[in-house]
Amino acid sequence: MSGHRSVAIIVRGRVQGVGYRAWTKGVAEARGLSGTVRNRRDGSVEARLAGSAEAVAAMIEACRQGPPGARVEDLTVDDAVPAPAGARGVQILPTA
């Protein structure tokens, strides 16, 4: 794999109230990714991340486990998303 990849990841299960957003921010930034993460009103977490294809693939796999206390029941990935414009690091956004 090589090049740049930008994805939207939706994680469902026990992913709110367990530090999932902060965990995502830390792990994604450690991998050199940028983007956003937020809780959604339906109880899921949405991360929009961009970076090297290798780092994004590794992050998707990490999101399948999540932080201690999380229970991931479903994870979907959409590759058809634009890269965050001028973003540095991962921003935690308000619930949408």
Q: Tell me the whole-structure pTM to 2 decimals.
A: 0.92
**Confidence grade of residue 88 (pLDDT, cut at 50, 70, 90):** confident
For the cut 60, the answer to whether the pLDDT of residue 1 exceeds it is no
Closest CA to 96 of 10, 6, 30: 10
Which listed residue (21, 38, 48, 71) is catalytic?
Answer: 21
Looking at residue 40, its pLDDT comes to 98
Looking at residue 80, its pLDDT comes to 74
- Give the C-alpha separation, 27 to 62, whole Å: 8
Does 64 participate in catalysis according to the annotation?
no
- For helices 20-30 and 53-63, the axis angle rounded to 10 degrees is 150
**Confidence grade of residue 7 (pLDDT, cut at 50, 70, 90):** very high
**AA identity, residue 48:** R
Backbone φ, ψ for residue 43 (5° rounding): 95, -5
Looking at residue 92, its pLDDT comes to 94
Which listed residue (12, 38, 39, 64) is catalytic?
Answer: 39
pLDDT digit string, tens, across residues 28-82? 999 999 999 999 999 999 999 999 999 999 999 999 999 999 999 999 999 977 7
Does 71 participate in catalysis according to the annotation?
no
Exposure letters 41-68 (e unless 16+ CB within 10 A, then b): eeebbbbbbbbbeebbebbbebbeebbe
Give the domains, in start order, of the chain with CATH numbers.
Answer: 4-82 (3.30.70.100)
For the cut 80, the answer to whether the pLDDT of residue 85 exceeds it is no
